[in-house]
Structure 1
């Protein structure tokens, strides 16, 4: 993984270094910031190869950014760009027709790397931006995309796309392999923009994979609820309970086993790191409906009781 921070650069040189080294030479963009604000600038950047794509994250002081025809000529790349505005926001003017889009926190954008754009922040607060760059050479799912100006996807697609974005690179993600995850999010993004048909088998499979990540995120979020059921999760995702169960089939773990596994993981952490809490308190806090159910599940998973696990020396655990 490539990591960079301006923290080790003198304050008066940070913005200039970021603009030239990270903006102009690495991303092929033009960055501008009012001179009186440059002394307070700071930025952090990471990038790693994943499944044939590049996944990067930027966190920095707000600035104006554009990709001009000159930038494209200097640093071209036939790639699909998927961007997630996690924090911050502003206005983005894109493409030859100069369409203007408002980009709020949480927005997800899709576009081709050879399209021009300019972005202006609507706040002086720092921004957090994640991007997946998918080279299109040899990519079998993408139609011609050179005319795809960057645009935000509609709200109906945000949940599955965001869930799959979060799963890419995550250690506990349920993805067939990195390349399959990149293929799926590329397909899903193009379905969301109308560039690929929703009904094609490969694209429907991409949606199912994304909805599985979204379902797992709900289980982690709400595992403390004893009443957390397939019906509740299915309703939140807008699918039927039967469809929800089908989502879990490729993972090899059912809805119930996945939820129990998440609850046990959290219970184990609490047992080891929150010694002041009783076993019963931990069991109920993790969504188990009875102490007996918790003990049975814990012993089946770890081969010992919760109290035996807590009594073990840290080096052994």
Structure 2
């Protein structure tokens, strides 16, 4: 991962350096800000390789951005971008389609080589994440892909899947050598193309993307409902809108089955609680982690780690 911020540049040079070296040279965009507002400018970003794509996270003071035809000719990308807007939100305009705004947590998709303008909506400035996916890694010859001007992601059915897949892609970027990175990035790109009407959900690529994204969402639903001792496949399948059989098929390609995933996540939760609250009763920790009885918790914990929960907590306290 590569990180950089304007603290590495003298204050009076920060925006000029950001505009010429970072915005134009690295991202292929034109940055503009009134001269009188440049003194307090701040910007930072990180770049990570993830699968066949790249992840950018950017935070910066307010300024205007344009990806012009000149910018595109000097720095073509030929990639699909999936943007997640954070903070106060952002505005996109200057395109063949209508202008639009994205609120905190919202997504937009586009091809890199079409012009646009953007700016943050609030005084807090930019905060966004972008996954850039080269078209070559998506194995599509459909010419419509290169006509995808920026557009807010609006499919309410696909949105939770995109959100989960995007979050797992960001997690894979933070884990060097993640075996899931390539499939997550491909799924993210194909979900964007499903939403834009270019990839059919029932096609081979569409089905593969939906399987990957549903597994991501299933794992997040497990984490969200972990404390419920009655958490069962039927509950998660219902939340996903699929059959229980389909749910188990999703976990067949994962390292762990549904029940193994639930058990391991509960054990991880209990270990975290023991470290964070060493004075808390183990019975309370077991209940807070979703175990239906203290006896079950002791049995499962000992089988997994070869020691009782109390011994683990004593070791953790001794290692401080």
**TM-score, normalized by length of structure 1?**
0.91
Instruction: Return the match for 2:282 from 270, 279, 284.
Output: 279
Aligned match of 1:297: 300
Point out where structure 2 has 5 or more consecutive residues left out of the alignment: none
| Contact 2:282/2:309 (<8 A) preserved | yes
Supply the distance in 2 between the matched residues of 1:273 and 1:3 (Cα, whole angstroms). 30
Aligned match of 2:126: 127
Aligned match of 2:59: 59
1:189 paired with 2:192, answer yes
Supply the distance in 2 between the matched residues of 1:139 and 1:203 (Cα, whole angstroms). 11
1:224: Cα distance to partner?
1.8
1:120: Cα distance to partner?
2.8
Point out where structure 1 has 5 or more consecutive residues left out of the alignment: none
Which segment is superposed worse, 13-22 or 201-210? 13-22
**Deviations, residues 30-84 of structure 1 (Å, cap 9, x unaligned):** 1122334323321211112221211111112222211011111121121111111
SS in 2 for 1:212: helix
1:216 paired with 2:219, answer yes
Aligned match of 1:41: 41
Q: CA RMSD in A?
A: 2.2
SS in 1 for 2:57: strand
User: What count of residue pairs does the alignment treat as equivalent?
Assistant: 315
Aligned match of 1:261: 264
1:161: Cα distance to partner?
1.0
| Contact 2:227/2:289 (<8 A) preserved | yes
1:289: Cα distance to partner?
1.5
SS in 1 for 2:105: coil
SS in 1 for 2:130: strand
| Contact 2:138/2:189 (<8 A) preserved | no
SS in 2 for 1:215: helix
| Contact 2:301/2:307 (<8 A) preserved | yes
1:98: Cα distance to partner?
4.5
| Contact 1:142/1:187 (<8 A) preserved | no
1:13 paired with 2:13, answer yes
